Chains A and B, each alone.
Chain A
Amino acid sequence: MIRFDAVTKRYPDGTVAVDSLELTAASGQITVLVGPSGCGKTTSLRMINRMIEPTSGTIWLDDTDTASMATHELRRQIGYVIQHAGLFPHRTIVDNIATVPFLLGTDKKEARKTALELLERVGLPPHFAKRYPAQLSGGQQQRVGVARALAADPPVMLMDEPFSAVDPVVREQLQDEFLRLQQELGKTIVFVTHDIDEAIKLGDQVAVLRVGGHLAQLASPVELLSRPIDAFVAGFVGRDRGYRALGFTTAGTLSTRGEPTVTLGAAIPKGTDTDTWLLVVDAQQAPQGWLDLGADFTGHETVSDELLYRGGTLATQGGTLRAALDACLSSPSGRGVVVDDGGALIGSVTAREVLELIEARETERQP
């Protein structure tokens, strides 16, 4: 547990970066600090491992006042993932990861073995071990940065925009892997980002800071989306927060209707005039895309890949309302495809049905 007790940071030039902050980051949970640029996120984070010393107030690490510890002792208990990874260019990847174990005097062979395991943990192939940081892409370096912070198995991790330098696809991937890792490791994590979507996706609790270093709201992601405390937080959380809040509500069991299908590679059926869209599945009943029966099929005998519309997303039975609604809205037929955990087709729902479900939930919640 990390507790900020009336912590203030005033830089020598008079800038108040953090103003009497009260905040508790619970053990084994991810606390995200989010806010506009310059609101004091990095400053708050770096005060935890005393890279920056608070002007006043106390930061507690469990029951110890951090100010009473030797800085290097404190920092070895706290993993720190720096923006842009901050790897050491003159050391191989495996030695970068093993930096802290080496410092602690762990046997070199032992430390490298653990480092190799960590490399695999963060999703990098073992032959990267002998490479140097300059031979890795930005996203791969970020992963090594995470592995290095994990190497000493510190109970606490600080992460400052660790996924900011990569494209949205890789970022999504890193976030998913990060959540999976956290489920295994259960670290106490303080995570800084200026991206509210990232905050909501990753945080067990989210602290929204406003410029001047004030804490505007500390809440769970659902609560933040449904009950922003003031206009600033509401504005920061964004206009489509209602839609995003659906991402936290499970749809329960959707009552689906059967969907007629055709198997990939089968002969193209004659179109009925009531409905021009037909769902295409593969041999395992996994939905592949939609076939427009009204289209011109000259030159084609069977249902082949290039005839498919692949736009629609899939909703999983037992998934969120957001996924269900999105499946409907993204489907060219207007019918959202629902699959089971194995990816096999169950049936379809319409947007109207999902909306009715949402309304039912709303009335349920109101007294």
Chain B
Amino acid sequence: MATSPTSPASDAGDIKAVPVRHYGRWLFALIVLVFVASLLSSAIRNDNFKWDVVGDYLFADRVLRGLWLTIWLSTVAVVLGIALGTLLAVMRLSDNPVLRWVSLAYIWFFRGTPVYVQLLGWSFIGALYSTISFGVPFGGPVLVSANGNDLITPITAAILGLGLNLAAYQAEIVRAGLLSVDEGQVESAKALGMTGAQSMRRIVLPQAMRVIIPPTGNQAIDMLKTSSLVATIGVADLLYSVQLIYAQNYQQVPLLVAACIWYLLMTSILSIGQYYLERHYAAGNVRELPPTPLQRARARAASVRFGGPGNPG
């Protein structure tokens, strides 16, 4: 509805400016605070959590070994997933129909079946193929050959299961990122004499990163937790390690709490990394970036030292 010239806005000069008091907002915040505080104190004071046991096991050898395995297993799986996913995305956007279809079929299969089943599948591969060999198909010479069970250890199965599944999702993330880059950019790159690979690496990918990074961060954080599925194929990651411990001492709750503390710590570190990575690739974006917490702290310190007006917020 259009405002008519006689709208009350013309009387605005008479209105006294009184800051609006958000009584409702304050009340709601108070209720939430009380609720959170009681929840925390109930957890801290509840003896069933056995915080002393949590403390004992947090840095236990077996827990730390499990933690280390979770860290490097997730890292390898994420690196494999990102590399393969990027390749699949480029294949899907290629002019070559064979590459396009292979990529499509891959994504169809690995997104369409549960990751749990894929993990089990890789661990059974020794049973399915007693020897695994690479060579010219249909009776050609065999180049490399190995016993299925020797080649696919539980760890290898875990890496393949997690990494190959991630790649299918990552392919779609990267594809969306590549498609988000303006076509004129490829034109410009070509006109300046870049080859296809150069324009992809120097122009398109860096710009696509802005779209790719947030969901990729999600994937990495997710992988830390999804990797706990490898317990089912007998790989002693963080979760499986604490499970093995409480199978003996029956201290389920404190050990699970200890594991969660480590998971939270790792995901927090990843989130911070993601924040700075996003800022790095936001260079040249139209919107001004807000200062990082570090920059803010520094600005505040400087304003205190020089007695300046300071940086609000």
Contacts and interface: CB of A to CB of B under 8 A. Distances in A.
B285 interface: yes
A134 B285 contact: yes
Contacts, number: 59
A82 to B, nearest CB: 6
A103 B284 contact: no
B187 A86 contact: yes
Interface stretch (A8-16, A72-80, A227-235): A72-80
Contact of A72 (B193, B207, B281): B193
A312 interface: no
A132 B283 CA distance: 8
A51 B187 contact: yes
B285 A103 contact: no
Interface stretch (A87-95, A207-215, A319-327): A87-95
Interface in A89-119: 89-92, 99-100, 103
Q: Which of A72, A75, A76, A133 has the most CB of B within 10 A?
A: A72
B203 interface: yes
Contacts of B286: 134
Contacts of B188: 82, 86-88
A89 B206 CA distance: 10
Interface in B160-206: 184-185, 187-195, 198, 203, 206
Given A132-B283, A132-B284, A134-B284, A90 B206 contact: yes
Contacts of B207: 88-90
Q: Which residue among B189, B191, B203, B286 has the maximum number of chain A CB atoms within 10 Å of its CB?
A: B191
A72 B194 contact: yes
A132 to B, nearest CB: 4
A193 interface: no
Contacts of B283: 90, 132
Given A86-B184, A86-B185, A100 B284 contact: no
Contacts of B194: 72, 103
A49 interface: yes
B17 to A, nearest CB: 36
A88 B185 CA distance: 7
A88 B285 contact: no
Nearest to A151: B192
A89 B284 contact: yes
Contacts of A73: 193
Contacts of B192: 75-76, 80, 99-100, 103, 148
Nearest to A100: B192
Nearest to B286: A134
Contacts of A87: 188
A215 B40 CA distance: 82
28 contacts: A49-B191, A71-B190, A72-B194, A72-B195, A73-B193, A75-B190, A75-B191, A75-B192, A75-B193, A76-B193, A80-B192, A84-B184, A86-B184, A86-B191, A87-B188, A88-B185, A89-B284, A90-B206, A90-B207, A90-B284, A91-B284, A100-B192, A103-B194, A103-B198, A132-B284, A132-B285, A134-B284, A134-B285
Listed from nearest, the 4 A-B pairs whose CB atoms lie closest are: A76-B193, A132-B284, A75-B193, A86-B188
